[in-house]
Structure 1
Amino acid sequence: MLLTKDNYYSVEANREYLSVSQFKGFLPSYGGCEARSMAELAGEYTRPDKTAFDEGHYLHSWNEGTLAEFKAKNPDLYSSRGPTAGQLKSNFKHCDKMIATLESDELVMKVLAGQKEVIRTAELFGAQWKIMMDSYQPGIAFADLKAIKDMDDKFWNGQIYENFIDHYGYNLQMGIYAEVERRADGRDNWLLPHMVIVTKQDPPDKAIYYFAFAEIQAGLNIVENNIGRVLDVKSGRAAPVRCEKCDYCRATKKIKTIKHVSELSLY
């Protein structure tokens, strides 16, 4: 299957290729659920987070230089009633603030320079992977643009607190991107991944982080340790497990037993 920007996120592409988001979607440690992931691959379920999805595409369209086209194709970005009719909805007006924050910083714009939305594929750990780099400077570096709630957020994983990099698996993402790009380009060495972060605060905050070789290898180790189970489930060799907590499991849940109230303390 030849990947393009038009079919990159399609169900057909996800069936043929693994992506970082799909891989994490199978892992409970990243809020994933095997049953939900398989329902998505079957075309039977779509996650109901369209607003966050559109906000992300708004920001990435700016980075790609196609924001005007994105606005024209998505009239639901605009209010259709009341005194604000015809104006951008408030959350997208705030996206414009985030964009202005990025545009005002010379180093941010330097890191985000280069080719945009570049697709690469490679075989890795027994599977074909696809990646799309937000900004790519061949032979030099690549960068990913992320919008998050707050730079200082901490997340409890049941044992320790994690920062947003570990919580959302961005170390895993940068490891896969670096290795797929290296293999696709036929080099012996990794390019150093960079992440440009902008927050949804008012006013927005911003930062640039890079990942050294140790972080790239650590991310690849996470994939290597979990790829067997993911491929077994995706291929149908193993039955998917329901987490009974995610949106899909709640929507399709069937009660099989009646519980005693004392069981609440075990959750």
Structure 2
Amino acid sequence: MATATKAKKKQVKKSQTDKQNSLAEEQSSQPMKLTADNYYSHETSWQYMSVSLFKDFEKCEARALAKLKEDWKPASSSVPLLVGNYVHSYFESAKSHQDFIEENKKELITKPTKNDPNGHLRAEFKSANSMIQTLQADDMFNYFYAPGDKEVIVTGEIDGYLWKGKIDSLVLDKGYFCDLKTVDDIHERHFNTDVAVPNFIYDREYDLQMAVYQELIKQTFGVFCKPYIFAVSKQTPPDHDAFKFEGMTDKYAMQDDIRKIKELQPHFWKVMTGEVAPISCGKCDYCRETKTLSSFTNASEIEV
């Protein structure tokens, strides 16, 4: 029985290695044409780097690779992501919003009970409706965000490596684009960032996202566009605000972001193609789940 189990594990490992080798070969071939249907697929992520994938590798290479190979899935709740997508889909189009509701009805609606046979919208998405109403009622948001083309796919190269992006609202004729963010609290102080301004934009590297999107829009359409972020909070009542990237601190941060991408991405691609082993952070959910002890650590050397 033990021998059969070992043989099965070897077979699974070989299958995973073969899959990685096959996908690595795809990277060097003609890249797939991106569409709304395949944009978020793992296949396109093996050919195009994205901001979310880059940030995953920054946090923990082992976790990012396991997710990319579909060997592991995080057990954390998907509700925060769904709340953001719920709000985004509303401002994309009525059809997109209705399609999103139909596709995610199980997560959006409570389970039927005797007193509530049809179920009802979960509290998180009632809050999302309040966020939508807050933005809808704001003239500045409607003036800048509403006219743009929604969910526009852009591609390009950064230092010879393919990248992809999806723009929430693109207004090419006026030279700007908007990104919509849902956050817990716009004014909350963040401690996970080493920049001088510890707010949600720099903590979540939205400045890096804006720098990448600006470059990809320029390569795709030949137009240099200013980035704007509209943020709405999950508080009751929701807060909301609009942000630009025109100060010297913002400009330097975006320049540093592109430099960081150029510095780190060659290593990340080598991890993806199996040329080098991924580095584990040792602290994330994936590392905790797969951790095995091999030695003692001095009590005075515990990482915090």
Residue 141 in 1 paired to residue 176 in 2? yes
| Structure 1 segment 66-105 matched on structure 2, within 5 A | 66-76=96-106, 77-82=108-113, 83-84=115-116, 85-105=118-138
Secondary structure at the aligned position of 1:162 is classed as coil
| 2:233 corresponding residue in structure 1 | 199
Shift of 1:266: 4.9
Residue 241 in 1 paired to residue 288 in 2? no
Shift of 1:258: 4.1
How high is the TM-score relative to the length of structure 2? 0.80
**CA distance in structure 1 between the aligned counterparts of 2:289 and 2:197, rounded to whole angstroms:** 30
Would the alpha carbon gap of residues 151 and 13 (structure 1) be closer, same or farther in structure 2, given more than 3 Å must change?
Answer: same
Gaps of 5+ in 2: 1-31
Matching residue's letter, 2:138 = D
Shift of 1:98: 0.4
Secondary structure at the aligned position of 1:5 is classed as coil
**CA distance in structure 2 between the aligned counterparts of 1:158 and 1:224, rounded to whole angstroms:** 20
**Number of residues of Structure 1 aligned to a counterpart in Structure 2:** 260
| 1:106 corresponding residue in structure 2 | 139
**Residues 131 and 238, structure 2, Cα contact 8 Å, conserved in 1:** yes
Shift of 1:153: 1.3
**CA distance in structure 1 between the aligned counterparts of 2:127 and 2:280, rounded to whole angstroms:** 37
Would the alpha carbon gap of residues 95 and 175 (structure 1) be closer, same or farther in structure 2, given more than 3 Å must change?
Answer: same
Would the alpha carbon gap of residues 243 and 209 (structure 1) be closer, same or farther in structure 2, given more than 3 Å must change?
Answer: same
| 2:61 corresponding residue in structure 1 | 34
How high is the TM-score relative to the length of structure 1? 0.90
**Residues 125 and 227, structure 1, Cα contact 8 Å, conserved in 2:** no
**Residues 116 and 136, structure 1, Cα contact 8 Å, conserved in 2:** yes
**Residues 181 and 229, structure 2, Cα contact 8 Å, conserved in 1:** yes
Q: Deviations over 1:124-168 (max 9, x none)?
A: 122110000001112421111000111111122376661111100
**Residues 188 and 200, structure 2, Cα contact 8 Å, conserved in 1:** yes
**More off after superposition, 39-48 vs 166-175:** 39-48
Secondary structure at the aligned position of 1:243 is classed as coil
Residue 156 in 1 paired to residue 187 in 2? no
Matching residue's letter, 1:16 = Q
Gaps of 5+ in 1: none
Shift of 1:235: 2.7
Residue 18 in 1 paired to residue 45 in 2? no
| 1:179 corresponding residue in structure 2 | 215
Larger Rg: 2
Identity across the alignment (%):
35
| 2:149 corresponding residue in structure 1 | 115
Secondary structure at the aligned position of 2:208 is classed as helix
Matching residue's letter, 1:151 = I
Secondary structure at the aligned position of 2:46 is classed as helix
Shift of 1:218: 3.4
Secondary structure at the aligned position of 1:122 is classed as strand
Would the alpha carbon gap of residues 122 and 161 (structure 1) be closer, same or farther in structure 2, given more than 3 Å must change?
Answer: closer
**CA distance in structure 2 between the aligned counterparts of 1:173 and 1:56, rounded to whole angstroms:** 16
Instruction: Please tell me the root mean square deviation across aligned C-alpha atoms, in Å.
Output: 2.0
**Residues 178 and 193, structure 1, Cα contact 8 Å, conserved in 2:** yes
Shift of 1:256: 1.6
| 2:166 corresponding residue in structure 1 | 132
